[in-house]
Homo-oligomer: A and B are copies of this chain.
Amino acid sequence: AFWIIWLSQLCYNWEKHILTFSFISLCCLSALIFLLDLSYFVARSKTCGELRLAHVGQEVTLCGWIQYKRHEQFVVLRDFQGLTQILIPQVEAASHLRKLFSDAPVESVVRVTGIVIPRPPGQANPRMQTGDIEVKAETAEVLNYCKKLPFEIKDFTKKTEALRMQYRYLDLRSIQMQYNLRLRSQVVMRMREYLCNCYDFVDVETPTLFKKTPGGAKEFVVPSREAGKFYSLPQSPQQFKQLLMVGGLDRYFQVARCYRDEGSKPDRQPEFTQIDIEMSFVDQDGILALIEGMLQYSWPKEKGLIKIPFPSITYDEALSTYGTDKPDTRFGMKIVDVSHILRNVDVGFLQNSLREPHGTVKAICIPQGAVSEAICGNSPLGKFLNEEQKSELIRTVEANMEDVVLLAAGQHKKVCSALGKLRLKSAELLEAKGLLFRDPSAFHFLWVVEFPLFLPKEENPVELEAAHHPFTAPHPLDEHLLYSDPSQVRGQHYDLVLNGNEIGGGSIRIHNAKQQRFILETVLKEDTELLFHLLEALESGAPPHGGIALGLDRLICLLVGGSSIRDVIAFPKSFKGRDLMSNAPDYVDPQELEPYHVQVTWPLTEAKARTN
């Protein structure tokens, strides 16, 4: 199955680029099949997934795990490619084979050599890829016996996640994990082909033992052998990618390991992977087109074609229409302004809300909200509306019979945000009731652009902080506002959203040292000491440049429909950051800390417990 996918992608690649060479026809492609050989270098001659009627009569050697055994006559062998039924001859001469398989518990590893034969009439299994044949065993060897397992492999998904993670090496044998990890590998390989082979990007590895970035509160520290000095595990290669552009690399990418210490958060990992990209002499449109092309090129064919270019929405529009900067555009239920209809309705809280600065009344219409009984509600507001107002409201929100209309009044951002959350919650409730709102196989990409460059600090709203990071260039039309009203400046930042999840973000960077220094020192009041090398680099002939980073774990998780990014990571950490298999992190002998000049400061309770 894997090479079929791979071939069709190859085919597609060629179609796109060499239209004139249609004579490279299917007959040629079928020859290419032999490129991908799964049994070179190893003890098997075939995998457990590839035998068909065409192989009947061949002698083959298979290696795999005993999936199950039946009547001392049949053994189903499993490897990463599939299942093959082994027939144990019932003649006296094969009694040693019967004993061998009878002694080997399920999940033992065996090598079997035998002849491919067709299954007897009526016994073919159409649900099995190899269901037309079986292999009549001639010789066999148990390569490794399996002791009792903590659970059956086939029943896997019923186990708790903690058990799956403790015995991850068993969990990996499940069809779903095999599929997820292989798909991830293939998608990344396709991205590399697109970047490296089609567009000459340079894969550059950047250090992970670096220095704390300003405000990098979520960075792990690594003690060095110099007393008091620490490396820091960076949250992204941001500084390095920019310095590579200053160094004239022109086009950089890296599948980069990044680190973020967020304590205990579900669906976050202390280490994660991003597809990290930077280009020189590029503008926003260039980056967006590059990424659209890359995702189209690397998208698995079995998941359907994705259409490019992706739609785009401004930050302001996203907030007004969906109440969030990462809208799920797989369904409508958009937020509609109904202030003009309710402006003259004599209800205190409406009037008060509309009098506020940025006061507004907005609505969403939940189709079939009443019929599904998922969303209840009976508002007295109806009493205060006249017929004309009622029908205008219904017309404006495009409500039908049995729909439910939700209204909210207040300050613009809060109203939108609240209705945005209700929109998602309503969709979930309706889906729980069986109304299919969002096609689980649909992939709706969306660019969100024109973010504000700065946001008021939460702890002190008079001061500003970078909405994303301090290296984002201002929107060319807003540059003059930097010096007069920085809070109004839009940045050249873009987020990529898939089905309501942010899967990437990037920006055109500041390449002018003076502008960068002004923003750091005057707008953000940051200490530029820590970024001295970057400012110096910008003064040394930095080209205009920009880039993006895609969160690979989340992207693949959405692609395979996983329930958590842990489903697409071979050895994930628990939500507390623990490796349940090896029990990391773990205590370390104080003596081993000596060369690093650190010692543990035990919390009081624990210190007491340890001295008792």
Interfacial chain B residues near A182, Cβ < 8 Å: 202
Cβ-defined contact, B144 with A228, below 8 A: no
Cβ-defined partner of A222 (8 Å) among B144, B233, B533, B579: B233
- Verify B41–A247 contact, CB threshold 8 A: no
Alpha-carbon gap, A423 to B169, bound state (A): 48
Measured CA separation A586–B592 after assembly (Å): 21
Q: Is A321 an interface residue (CB 8 A)?
A: no
CB distance from A509 to the nearest CB of B (A): 12
Chain A 144-183 residues near chain B, CB threshold 8 A? 144, 146-147, 149, 167-173, 177-178, 181-182
Cβ–Cβ contact A542 & B144, under 8 A = yes
Residue in chain B with minimal CB distance to A283: B43
A202, B193: Cα distance in complex, Å = 16
Give the shortest distance, in Å, between A155 (CB) and chain B (any CB): 15
Measured CA separation A228–B603 after assembly (Å): 10
* Residue from B42, B168, B186, B224 in contact with A281 in the complex, judged by beta carbons closer than 8 Å: B42
Q: Which residues of the other chain, B, contact A225 by a CB distance below 8 angstroms?
A: 261, 263, 577
Instruction: Specify which chain B residues have a CB less than 8 angstroms from the CB of A362 in the assembled complex.
Output: none
A391 at the interface (CB under 8 A from B): no
Selected contact of A172 from candidates B80, B249, B273, B606, CB within 8 Å: B249
Once A109-B542, A248-B172 are accepted as A-B contacts, the answer to whether A583 and B211 lie under 8 Å apart by CB is yes
Chain A 193-206: CB-based contact to B (< 8 A → 1; otherwise 0): 10011111111111
The yes or no answer to A124 lying at the interface (CB within 8 A) is no
Nearest CB on B from A610, distance (A): 9
> Cβ of A249 and Cβ of B181 under 8 Å apart?
yes
Is A554 positioned at the interface, with any CB of B under 8 Å from its CB? no
A408 CB → nearest B CB, Å? 39
Bound together, the chains give a CA A423 to CA B588 distance in angstroms of 45
Assess whether A211 is in contact with B582, with CB atoms less than 8 Å apart: yes
Residues in A501-529 with C-beta less than 8 Å from chain B:
511-512
In the bound complex, how far is the Cα of B78 from the Cα of A271, in angstroms? Answer: 39
Closest Cβ neighbor of A262 among chain B residues: B225
Contact B539 A147 (CB under 8 A): yes
Which of chain B's residues has its CB closest to A61's CB? B281
Most buried by B among A182, A250, A542: A250
Interface string of A232-268 (1 = CB under 8 A from B): 1100000110011011111000000101010100000
30 inter-chain pairs at a CB distance below 8 angstroms, sorted by A residue, are A24-B24, A35-B197, A41-B199, A43-B282, A63-B281, A143-B281, A144-B512, A168-B243, A168-B247, A170-B246, A170-B540, A172-B249, A177-B247, A185-B196, A192-B192, A193-B193, A205-B273, A205-B570, A206-B571, A208-B257, A209-B579, A212-B586, A212-B592, A220-B231, A221-B588, A223-B223, A227-B603, A232-B584, A240-B570, A598-B598
Nearest 4 A-B pairs (CB), nearest first? Answer: A172-B247, A211-B584, A41-B286, A146-B541
